Amino acid sequence: VDAFQAWCGPCKTVVDLFRKVRNEVGSDLLHFAVAEVDSIDALKKYRGKCKPVFLFYAGGELVAIVRGVNAPLLQKTILEQL
């Protein structure tokens, strides 16, 4: 989940990375979403941050967090969580 604030929008720079990884691993295993933290109370602790935050869930549980746009770390985290 790309957790973003309304004033900065979702992180467009990692969309290509997400597409690449999804194509490599198959669409059944991996799902991407965006969430505006300003309108979701459960994500209020991510408000007021200017750095993008990527939340990784498995089985409904938060399993990893990557702060900032670090393509190698994002790809590594995605593959590790799969």
Average pLDDT of each block of 10 consecutive residues along the chain (82 residues)? 82 81 82 89 85 89 92 92 88
The model scores a pTM over 0.95? no
pLDDT at res. 65: 95
Beta bridge partners of 62: 57
Closest among 3, 1, 14 to 52, alpha carbons compared: 3
Cα gap 39→71, rounded to integer Å: 27
Check whether domain 2-81 has CATH 3.40.30.10, yes or no: yes
pLDDT at res. 69: 86
pLDDT at res. 64: 96
pLDDT at res. 14: 81
pLDDT at res. 46: 86
